[in-house]
A and B are shown apart, each in its own frame.
Chain A
Amino acid sequence: MISTNYIKLLMMSFFILVLTFSCKNESKTATTPNSNNVGTEATEKQGQAFIADDGSTPNVLQIAIGSPDHTTLVAAVQAAQLENALVNAGPLMVFAPTNEAFAALPAGTVEDLLKPENKDALANILKFHVTAGNYSKDFLMKFKKLGQANDQNTTVEVKGEDVFVGGAKIIASIPAGNGIVHVVDKVMLPPSE
């Protein structure tokens, strides 16, 4: 779906370029009020996240995209345009709340966060689910706290065999090409400062 739109966009851009170039001798491209919008739109779907690569070990984003239990998370990442931040060399540790975890939030919360005007707030929450690092659940037991990508800290608690990060329990872990995805049962809400 994304790629189809992207191709359409590219084709349209190309069409315009052809028109623009067609009379190059006489022309300097005109400034139009919308040209910046076009530039922004064109860059949104560029970057490492949009490279076709079926051969490499899936990265944390690809793992999330491939999981039927994480469609809400993926939609949120896309709405916040954080795709490219999740595909770099890392290492990245992503705490991935399930659809159920999102559904447990007060009614209307997710819908609100997905609104364009709340993009920054959404990005902040999502970045609170990302650590620069790559630690297994067992190794995480050594930690008391983790520094998250939104610049806030979160807690690590061990209860018996279970590890809770920011109050959310790790229920599964999937190693990724650029880190690890820990599936968690709750959405971790950043502490208010």
Chain B
Amino acid sequence: MKRNTYLVLGLLGFAALLTSCGNGNQGKGSSGALNSSNAEKVYVAPGEHDEFYAFMSGGYSGNLTVYGLPSGRMFKEIPVFSQFPTSGYGYSEETKPMLNTSFGFVPWDDSHHPDISQTNGELDGRWIFINGNNTPRIARIDLQTFETAEIIEVPNSAGNHSSSFITENTEYVVAGTRFSVPVPQADMPIKDYKGNFKGALSFISVDPEDGRMDIKFQILMPGFNYDLSHPGRGKSHGWFFFTTYNTEEANTLLEVNASQNDKDFIAAINWKKIEEYVNNGGGTKMPANYAHNVYSDETHTATSTMVKEVLTVDPTKIPGAVFFLPTPKSPHGCDVDPSGEYIIGNGKLSADLTVHSFDKMIAAIEGKKFDGEAYGIPILKFEDVLAGTVKSGGLGPLHTEFDGEGNAYTTFFISSEVVMWKLGTWEVIDRKPTYYSVGHLMIPGGNSRKPFGKYVVAMNKITKDRYLPTGPELEHSAQLYDISGGKMELIYDFPTHGEPHYAAGIPAELLAPKSKKFYKLADNKHPYATLGAADAKVVREGKDVHIYMSTIRSHFTPDNIEGVKVGDKVYFHITNQEQDFDVPHGFAVIGANTSELLVMPGQTKTIIWEPKQVGVWPFYCTDFCSALHQEMQGYVRVSPASSNIELSWSLGD
């Protein structure tokens, strides 16, 4: 066997020698591990741009990172659910309200599943949504500014995991709870979980003009775990599908007790029917308390509003709205193919994939072919809705994406591979190892009606030896496969930041032309803005001192300030006067217990400084803005609390 291999290799080497120095007139369609053009496939020459943006969730970083494909270059980290030192997000007075919740200020969350807005089932590149998993929230990020524009908290939810997936016209962004909890929350014995806890699936409407989110209704489902979800599309538009596990409703040792049933369910929700029901006055308004935080590009300031009510829906009150599709082995991923016909449940402890048919599901519903019910919700017969089973030969399937050419790609965690298979025939076409233990995967547009099936990115949980060892903690590893040739070819790998749970990709040409380059100073409506250096001033209001400060290459106005006293609360309101792409200014003052700032052109940002010691204290620009950056500095004189020194400020006096 081995000897044969060497012989083959030897012959091949000889063949390669012969052909590679030939007349340069080779045929197309080269493939295999020896293909020397892999480097060219991922090489983006200096000054050239990547073909795709990939938005990868940060997982435990709480943020969202932006990569180029095929180069794997990281362009940006967008702060979403976590304070971010680079820009001062979540530290500056303007952005602190973004992280407000009913639990108070939450500085760090766990971000999971990004999804890009769609129109007619195709990516429209207006916004990207992502869920905060721990303290349940959904964020909307504006893809013109790559900034978090809005965060809405989700009440009655806990472990916001089957989120944040959108319907095909971005009518809704959907957030399902992983943990069922008492609704409303109550002091009760944990062992009374079964039959008493509820799982809330929230449908959050998205305003088609400005993207503004609002919880339209919450469906209070039986107390299962709702793991992942995806919308119907095309003919199944109007439906939403959620995988469930722990239909046993165990409250302890789930690794044993949640694996007792051979089958759990995919919950099929006819949201159009429920929407109609609530539009006609259905549902129950329930007292609640959740934060709705909105950032304004005009005031450069976020506001946080507490909402006191939420509309809940009992699914058993709406005949025909919710059904259960039995699905084997604690299904994890729940993915819908581009045609909307196939709903794929990946039983994470299984070798096989279960594919349900939307048409068969509708036929079974119309024929009322039920196999009992769970808490009043009809269960369809497994055989009646099953389209097929993919006998993968892998172990531990998690997630599936689609290439738009009739193929699906599924990750297998335990056997560390991506398996490519054909929709309809369920035959395995190709399989490739990953390095190592792959979780999610992504094809740009891979969960829309129109995927861009050129690359698959596998997001691996374990890095081990892929890069130089840098201590116990390693960045996760992603792998890029070229799928343009009808098979998968591993062409590149690159490290990713945090733990990407899913990603969303889009052609750069759909985003880059719309990107905002700077904020117009004339449109700045911040109440403490300094729109010109002449407007710079310092105002005392009791112990609060407001410094209206402007920045331009290469000075602050003012840069000498006197009359500040120990015990004052000093607000530095910094307005960047630049009107030029990519010229931020930074601000740092010694002993600040808050943060530094990074202020984009045309923006105003604020930090609070509470001087505790008498002296003359410097501040400076932290962003290398110009040739005279090192000259961009100033002093604040801090006098004793009892001092009579008048407030004064100046530049160049």
A interface with B by C-beta (< 8 Å): 5, 8-9, 12-13, 15-17, 19-32, 34-39, 41-43, 46-48, 51, 53, 84-85, 88-90, 92, 120, 123, 127, 132-133, 135, 142-143, 147, 149-151
For B20, B29, B393, the residue with the greatest tally of chain A CB atoms inside 10 Å of its CB is B20
Verify if B416 is at the interface (C-beta below 8 Å from A). Answer: yes
CA distance A35 to B396 in the complex (A): 30
Contacts of B21 in A (CB 8 A): 22-23, 26-27
Partner of A89, one of B5, B23, B329, B437: B437
A16 and B437 contact, CB distance less than 8 A? no
Known: A15-B13, A19-B13. A27 touches B27 (CB 8 A): no
| B349 touching A19, Cβ below 8 Å | no
Given A15-B13, A23-B20, A47 contacting B30 (CB threshold 8 A)? no
| A31 and B31 contacting across the interface, CB-CB below 8 Å | yes
**Are B6 and A147 in contact, with the CB atoms below 8 A?**
no
- Residues 437-462 of chain B: 1 if any A CB is under 8 Å from the residue's CB, otherwise 0? 10000000000000000000000011
Flag if A16 contacts B36 (CB, 8 Å): no
A42 to B11, CA, bound (A): 16
Residues of B in contact, count (CB < 8 Å): 54
A28:B33 contact, CB within 8 angstroms: no
Given contact pairs A5-B2, A30-B27, A53-B464, a sample of 13 additional A-B residue pairs in the complex whose CB atoms are under 8 Å apart: A12-B6, A12-B9, A19-B17, A29-B30, A31-B32, A34-B8, A38-B34, A39-B32, A43-B33, A43-B433, A48-B435, A90-B414, A151-B352
The DSSP consensus for interface residues of chain B is loop
CA distance A20 to B19 in the complex (A): 9
Q: Are B396 and A132 in contact (CB under 8 A)?
A: yes
Contact assessment for A28 and B5 in the assembled complex, using a CB-CB cutoff below 8 Å: no
**In the complex, which residues 1-47 of chain B have their Cβ closer than 8 Å to any Cβ of chain A?**
2, 5-6, 8-13, 15-17, 19-24, 26-37
Residues B9 and A13 in contact, CB atoms below 8 Å apart: yes
- Closest-CB distance, B417 to chain A (whole angstroms): 8
Q: Is B511 an interface residue (CB 8 A)?
A: no
- Chain B residues close to A by CB (< 8 Å): 2, 5-6, 8-13, 15-17, 19-24, 26-37, 255-256, 259, 329, 349-352, 393, 395-396, 413-416, 432-433, 435-437, 461-462, 464-465
Lowest 4 CB-CB distances: which A-B pairs, in order?
Answer: A35-B32, A26-B24, A30-B19, A39-B33
Taken together as a complex, chains A and B put the C-alpha atoms of A39 and B8 apart, in Å, by 12
In chain B, what residue has the closest Cβ to A44?
Answer: B433
In this complex, what residue of A is CB-closest to B347? Answer: A151
Which has the most chain A C-beta neighbours within 10 Å: B255, B349, B414? B414
A-B contact pairs, 30 of them (CB 8 A): A9-B9, A13-B9, A13-B33, A13-B34, A17-B34, A19-B16, A19-B17, A20-B16, A20-B20, A20-B36, A21-B36, A22-B21, A27-B19, A27-B26, A28-B28, A29-B20, A29-B26, A34-B8, A37-B8, A42-B33, A47-B433, A48-B435, A48-B464, A51-B464, A85-B415, A88-B413, A127-B351, A132-B349, A147-B349, A151-B329
Residues of A within 8 Å of B32, CB to CB, are 31-32, 35-36, 38-39
A46: nearest chain-B partner, CB-CB: B433
The answer to whether A16 touches B34, judged by C-beta atoms less than 8 angstroms apart, is: yes
Q: Which A-chain residue is minimally distant from B259 (CB atoms)? A: A147
Residues of chain B contacted by A26 (CB below 8 angstroms)? 20-24
Contact flag A85-B12 (CB < 8 Å), given A47-B436, A48-B462, A133-B255: no
Check B33 against A48 for contact (C-beta < 8 Å): no
Residue on B with the closest CB to A17? Answer: B34
Known: A12-B6, A21-B36, A147-B349. A27 touches B414 (CB 8 A): no
Q: Given A29-B30, A48-B416, decide whether A16 and B8 contact each other with a Cβ distance below 8 A.
A: no
Q: In the complex, which residues of chain B have a beta carbon less than 8 angstroms from the beta carbon of A39?
A: 31-34
B36 partner residues in chain A, CB cutoff 8 A? 17, 20-21, 24, 27, 29
A24 nearest CB neighbor, chain B only: B36
Which residues of chain A come closer than 8 Å to B6, judged between CB atoms?
Answer: 8, 12
Nearest CB of chain A from residue B579's CB, rounded to whole Å: 47
* Docked CA distance A22–B22 (Å): 12
List residues of chain A with CB within 8 A of the CB of B255.
Answer: 133
Which A residues are CB-close (under 8 A) to B259? 147
Contacting A9 at CB < 8 Å: which of B5, B35, B395? Answer: B5
Docked-complex contact A35 and B31, CB < 8 angstroms: yes
A47 and B29: CB pair below 8 A? no
The distance in angstroms between the C-alpha atoms of A67 and B591, with both chains bound, is 61
How far does the Cβ of B398 sit from chain A's closest Cβ, in whole Å?
Answer: 12
